[in-house]
Amino acid sequence: MCGIAGFCSFKENYTSRSAKWQDTLANMKNSIKHRGPDEDGYMLAEHVGFAHARLSIIDLANGKQPMSRKIGNRLYTIIYNGELYNTSELREDLELKGWRFQTTSDTEVILVGIIEYGNEFVKELNGIFAFAIWDSDNETLSLFRDRLGIKPLFYTLRDGVCVFGSELKVLFEYPGIRPVIDRGGLCEVFGIGPARTYGNGVFKDCSEVLPGYYNVYNRDGMKTSQYWKLVSRPHTDSYEETIEKTAFLVKDSIIRQMVSDIPICTFLSGGVDSSIVTAVCADELAKRGEQLNTFSFDFAGNDEYFKANDFQPSRDRPYVDMMVEHFHTNHTYLECDNIKLADALYKAVDAKDLPGMADVDSSLLHFCSEVKKFNKVTLTGECADEIFGGYPWFHSKEAFEAHAFPWSRNIEPRKQLLKDDLLDILQLEDYINNTYETSVAETPKLPFDSPEEGRRREIAYLNIKWFMATLLDRMDRTSMFSGLEARVPLADHRILDYVWNVPWDIKCRDGVVKQLLRESARGLLPDEVLYRRKSPYPKTYNPHYEGILASRLGEILKDSSSPINKLVDKKKVADFLAAPSDYGKPWFGQLMAGPQMIAYLLQINYWLDKYKIELAI
C-alpha cells in the first residue's frame, strides 16, 4: 500500500523549470509520506509529473515506483496504491500473450495488462487500488479507482492543470491551489458529515474519482468512464445453494487477501465479522505451522462506566477471549485513555484532511499506530453489515418510512448549534434532501420487486454508497497514517455482486440478523460468537472524557480568533454543554451522540485553523 501524487498540464513544459517542479513533487510526496515510509520515487516529463511513497508488501526488492515499460517509442508509466488479489491468474494470461515480467509485483501486472488490453483491463482486477498511468505517445493520463472506493483518489482541475493524489492535502502542494470552502462544502460538513457525497472533495473544485470509474485526461479535457456498477438480477439459487456459494466467496476472499511477503494480522473485536476473518486466517496459518497475531481495542474505564443500550448491548472482551482460546492466536489487548483519545482528534483531521467521526476516528487511529509496532498488514471485518443487512436501520419501521438517510434521520442536532444567519444561507434541509433523493433514484431495482423489497434495495444502496464509503475512508486514513495496510476481505466485489440480489428472507432467515453470513460460517466459530447479537465498534463511556472535550471547546469559544466562532452560536453551545448527554440517541450512525458532537466541533475548529481555510459564503 502506498501514496500516489502527480500533475498534468498540456500548457506547461515542466522540464523547462525542472528544479521547481521536482520540488513540488517532493512536497506532494512528503505530505503523504506516512502512507509509504519505505521508499520514494519520482518521474518528471514535459507535461506530467508523478510522485510515489511506497509501503513495501509485495516484491520488496523490485517493486519500486514509478514503474515504466517501453514498447517501441511508446513509454507507459504507472504509480499505484493497492493490492491485487488475482495477480497470478492475470500474469499467466499475459504470459500466454508473450509478455515477460521483470518483477513479481502486482504493479507490473497491471501496467502490462493495460498496455495489452487498454483501460478496460481494469474490469479484470480483483483488489483494492487507485493508480495513474501516463501514455507518452497518446499524451494521456488515466486515473483508476477500485469498485467500492476502498482506496482514495482525489483530483482538481484548475486552469488547464489536473492535480491528483491519494489524499486531499496533496492538491494544496501544487502552486496556486488553495483550500476554499463554499456553501456546498459547509453543507457537506454540517448537513452530511462525517459522511461525504461520493465524488465530492468538500473543498471547492476538489473531486474524487468515483468508485468503479476511471478518468482519462488529455488535450480534450477530462472524460469519465464507469466500468462497474451494482446490477439487480433475479435470484434463482435455493437457500442451501445460496449458503454454499456465500461460504465459498467469503473464504476465498479472505484467503486471497492473505497474500503478502511479510506477516499479516487481524483486528479481532469478538463480533461475527472480524471473528470469521480471524478464523480463516488462523486456520490457514496453522497449516503452515504459523501463529496469527490478533488485536482488540477498548477504552480505559469502560469496566466501570460501560452502559448497555440498544446499539451496544454488550462488551466485546468475553467474546475476544473465547476466540483467542479457540484459535490459539497471539493476542494483544490494546487500550486508549481519555487524554490520548482527545488528543488524537486532531491527528485524525491530519489524516483525513476533514473533520470525521470524532473519537470513532481518533481511537482507531491510535490503535492502528499501536498495531503498526507489530505488523504492517492487517485484515478487518469491515463492510459485512452494509452488505448482509446488519445495521438496526435495515430492520427498523422508522427507517423504512423516513424520507432521510437511515443513519442520520434527525438533523436537528446538526442545526442546533449554528448561527441563525448561517442556517439561512446553508438551507441544510434542501441540501440533504437533494442528495438523498439523487441516491435513492439511482437504486437498481427489478420491475417485479415488491414495494417492500424495493425499499430494502434503497436502504441497502444508501448504505453501500454512503455509510460503507464513510467507514472505508476512516479505515484507509487511520491505518495509512501509520503506514499500516488494512484489507477488507468482506468487501470483495464478488460477494457484493452476489449478495445484493439475495432476497431478504434468505439474508435474514427467521428474523436472525445476518443469518446468511452466520450460516455460511457455521462450523468455523464457537456458536456463542457466531450467534452473538451485534455490537458495533467500541467507544468510551467515561464521563471524564466528555469533561475534557467540554473544557477544550469552552476555551476555544473564549478565544475570539478561533475560526469556529464565525459559524456557531456561543449561547446555543453553552446550553448544549450544560444539558445531560444521551449516549443512546446518536445523531450519526450508532456511536455519535452528545460527546461526539463536542468532539466534531473541536475537529472542525482545528481543521479550519490548520488548513487556513478561506470561507467563500
558 burial via Cβ count (<10 Å: 0-12, 13-18, 19+): exposed
Q: What is the total residue count of the chain?
A: 617
Return d(Cα 128, Cα 493) in angstroms, integer: 10
- Tell how far CA 448 is from the center of its chain: 34
Exposed / middle / buried, residue 357 (Cβ in 10 Å: 0-12, 13-18, 19+):
buried
CA dihedral for 336, 342, 343, 344, sign (positive or negative): positive
Q: At what angle do helices 359-371 and 338-352 cross, to 10 degrees?
A: 90
Cα 477 from Cα 467, distance rounded (Å): 16
Is the Cβ–Cβ distance between 60 and 22 less than 8 Å? no
In sequence order, what are the residues at sequence separation of 6 or more whose Cβ sits closer than 8 angstroms to the Cβ of residue 227? Answer: 120, 122, 123, 212, 213, 214
Identify whether the C-beta of residue 68 lies closer than 8 Å to the C-beta of residue 43. Answer: yes
Q: In the beta sheet, which residues pair with residue 154?
A: 165, 208
DSSP 328-361: T-EEEEEEE-HHHHHHHHHHHHHHHSS--STHHH
Local structure of 476: helix, strand or coil: helix
Q: What 8-state DSSP symbol labels residue 569?
A: -
| CB within 8 Å of 425: residues ≥ 6 apart | 183, 617
Identify whether 194 is preceded by a cis peptide bond (ω within 30 of 0): yes
Residue 301: exposed, middle, or buried by beta-carbon count in 10 A (0-12, 13-18, 19+)? middle
Which residue from 608, 485, 493 is spatially nearest to 35, judged by alpha carbons? 485
Q: Of 293, 315, 308, 342, which Cα lies nearest the Cα of 547?
A: 342
DSSP state of 464: I
β-sheet bridge partners, residue 331: 294
Phi, psi of 518 (to 5 degrees): -60, -45
Burial class (CB in 10 A: 0-12, 13-18, 19+), 254: buried
Indicate if 2 belongs to the active site: yes
Active-site residue identified among 2, 8, 162, 368: 2
DSSP state string for 495-564: HHHHHTTS-HHHHTGGG-TTHHHHHHTTTTS-HHHHTPPP--S-----HHHHHHHHHHHHHHHH-TT-GG
> What is the C-alpha separation between 269 and 305, in angstroms, rounded?
19
The closest alpha carbon to 594, from 538, 550, 557, belongs to: 550
Active site residue ranges: 2
